[in-house]
Amino acid sequence: MAYIPLDDRLPGMRALLAFRPEIAPALMELMQVVMRSNEGLSIGEREMIATYVSALNDCYNCHHIHGEIAQCFFEDRPNLLEQIKNDYSSAPISERLKSILNIAGTVQKSGKWVDSEQIDAAKALGVSDLEIHDTVLIAAMFCFFNRYIDGLGVVSNDTLESLKSRAKIMAEQGYH
Amino acid sequence: MPHIPLPDHLPGITGLLEYRVDSAKPIRDLTQILLRGESTLSEGERELIASVVSHGNACKFCAAAHTAAADILLGDSETCEMVKNDLENAPVSPKMKALLRIATLVQKSGKAVTQESINEALTNGATDREIHDTVLIAALFCLYNKYVDGMGSATPTDPKFYLTLGERITTHGYSRLKEGYDHLKNNTIH
């Protein structure tokens, strides 16, 4: 049971957006603008950052749905997101992507812990200023969404099948 | 030093919001609705939530900016200082104290919020909508704090800077200035 009366037929964020419809346009626009761009980071990489940060925050709703969405963009590596949640350093991804997840994981702990060494390491691997910006913003955004969902005690009614089918639609259509 | 090149005349959050104006817009819109929109919590009470969370995250820029805003709106500087440093003895209502306690739990983790902390707010007269908005504002300031500090954005040390910023966000609010921010290029307060 969530801490406030929510429509339990609606999954995850949808129930919160229905509770306070005035905020829905801004939250959807934020997701669409930041998560559905291929400029710099790809859509799949953005979803990967979201999944990793949500797993660190132990936010069940977010890391499951975004993990399934991200997985849709890495069909050649069927268990990739599970591997990243467990230990990204041994996952089959580029050093560039590892340097990005390293920054995202630090933001999850505290913005103040991001140091110039890890930024320089990412830049040396070809990560652009925009990609650094978007990595920090996505990590901060999911610390926000995770707290919003878990802070109100939103529970998941999803099954593995319902997660996968919702994720497929969101991977194809985005956040409208 | 910021981790990416940002304009010198826009320290803290503003340079970041100007760096990507398209992602800034929904963040600004959300803040304007939550902190300045219709609510049974006063604007000053909502700035207290922003201040206590920013203080908990040790984000000096956000804590100073929203403390300045809270002080202007509440008409004193003691309330916000007490809320940040000694919440239990702060001169706020039992309802507000319970909501601010929830905000400090959200600052740590969404999972830190307990049914007990929610019940205490309800018992002291908080509505579902007030609880919802408290959690959402607290979560939003975790976004801001991590964004500002995670990008290594500049933090002015002159208290006058925050008085000016506090004036701006209590009179104009959180939407982007129509004229942009070029007029601040000659600003000598950093």
Q: What is the pLDDT of residues B149-162, one digit of tens each?
A: 999 999 999 999 99
A14, A6 Cβ separation under 8 angstroms: no
- Tell me if ipTM is over 0.85: yes
How far is the C-alpha of A167 from the C-alpha of B31, rounded, in Å? Answer: 28
How far is the C-alpha of B76 from the C-alpha of B68, rounded, in Å? Answer: 10
The answer to whether A34 contacts B139, with C-beta atoms less than 8 Å apart, is no
Q: What is the pLDDT of residues B120-138, one digit of tens each?
A: 999 999 999 999 999 999 9
The answer to whether A144 contacts B143, with C-beta atoms less than 8 Å apart, is yes
Residue A5 lies in a domain: no
A64, A76 Cβ separation under 8 angstroms: no
Q: Provide the number of structural domains found in chain B.
A: 1
Compute CA distances A5 → A32, A106, B25, B131, whole Å.
27, 34, 30, 11
Question: Comparing C-alpha atoms, which of A114, A115, A117, A94 is closest to residue A104?
Answer: A114
Q: Provide the number of structural domains found in chain A.
A: 1
Q: Tell me, yes or no, if A54 comes closer than 8 A to chain B by beta carbon.
A: no
Residue B50 lies in a domain: yes
Using CA coordinates, name the residue in chain B closest to A111.
B150
Q: What is the pLDDT of residues A98-125, one digit of tens each?
A: 999 999 999 999 999 999 999 999 999 9
Task: Give contacts of A110 with chain B, Cβ < 8 Å.
Answer: 57-58, 146, 149
* Strand runs labelled E in chain A: none
The CATH number that applies at residue B166 is 1.20.1290.10
Task: Give contacts of A16 with chain B, Cβ < 8 Å.
Answer: 132
Tokens of residue B7, six digits:
């304009």
- Residue B158: Cβ-neighbour burial (10 angstroms; 0-12, 13-18, 19+): exposed
How far is the C-alpha of B54 from the C-alpha of B84, rounded, in Å? Answer: 9
Which of A137, A146, A147 has the CB atom closest to B138's CB atom?
Answer: A147
Give the containing element (helix H, strand E) for A145.
helix A129-151
Residue A119 lies in a domain: yes
Task: Work out how many CB contacts closer than 8 A connect A with B.
Answer: 149
Report CA B30 to chain centroid distance, whole Å.
Answer: 12
Give me the domain span that covers residue B147: 12-172
Q: What is the pLDDT of residues B62-79, one digit of tens each?
A: 999 999 999 999 999 999
Give me the domain span that covers residue A57: 13-173
Mutation target vs A (from B132, B141, B153, B175; most A CBs, 10 A cutoff): B132
Task: Give contacts of B118 with chain A, Cβ < 8 Å.
Answer: 3, 153
pLDDT tens-digit profile, chain B (190 residues) = 899 999 999 999 999 999 999 999 999 999 999 999 999 999 999 999 999 999 999 999 999 999 999 999 999 999 999 999 999 999 999 999 999 999 999 999 999 999 999 999 999 999 999 999 999 999 999 999 999 999 999 999 999 999 999 999 999 999 999 999 999 998 766 5
The CATH number that applies at residue A79 is 1.20.1290.10
